Amino acid sequence: MSDIELITHSPEETQKLGVYIGESAQAGDIYLLTGGLGTGKTYLTQGIAWGLDIEEYALSPTFVIVRELRGRLPLYHIDLYRLDRAEEVDELGLDEYLYRNGVCVIEWAEKGLSVLPPEHLLIEISYVGETDRRFRFKPSGQHYVDLVDRLKYFIPNL
């Protein structure tokens, strides 16, 4: 399997990792972010947005569920925090975003894994220390396996 893990040591490093992902992003990419409160999901998303040449700051869309940002590709920043069941996620009609020519970043994706597309890049984020975060990348589908393989070359430069 092409799973990899890496650790960032600051919010800025987490954003830098996101920039690389955003620069590598292609239309239709789906990134599923999981992790507890404060683990860095939104910092990573901000970096992805910057890598997509989005100047707007990627705030967490917790109260609106979806924020659409414009750059090289549109970014659909989706937050499932306020939902309780996978059925609620399914009822949102996210297909409108998931199957467009943009990039979807879904925070709190664990709440809807059973109804989200089977091909995606799952990024599990966890605490290691006060500012250190562990990122485990789990690709599902050849496109995401290839992306994770490219990420391996990025790790020493973080």
Q: What is the pLDDT along the chain (158 residues), one digit of tens a residue?
A: 578 888 999 999 999 999 999 999 999 999 999 999 889 999 999 999 999 999 876 666 555 577 888 899 999 988 887 666 555 655 666 767 676 789 999 998 887 777 788 899 999 999 998 999 999 999 999 999 988 888 777 665 54
3-state SS class at 150: helix
Query: Residue 126: its pLDDT value, please?
Result: 95
Question: In Å, what is the CA distance from 113 to each residue of 11, 69, 127?
Answer: 26, 23, 21
3-state SS class at 42: helix
Query: Residue 83: its pLDDT value, please?
Result: 63
DSSP label at residue 128: S
Q: Are 40 and 129 in contact (CB under 8 A)?
A: no
Cα(134)–Cα(46) distance, integer angstroms? 17
Residue carrying structure tokens 């599902």: 140
Q: Are 90 and 42 in contact (CB under 8 A)?
A: no
Q: Which CATH fold topology does 4-157 show? A: Rossmann fold (3.40.50)
Q: Fill in the amino acid letter for 63.
A: F
Question: In Å, what is the CA distance from 117 to each residue of 85, 86, 88?
Answer: 16, 13, 15
- Nearest to residue 80, comparing CAs of 69, 68, 94? 94
- Measured over all CA atoms, what is the biggest interatomic distance in the chain, rounded to whole angstroms? 42
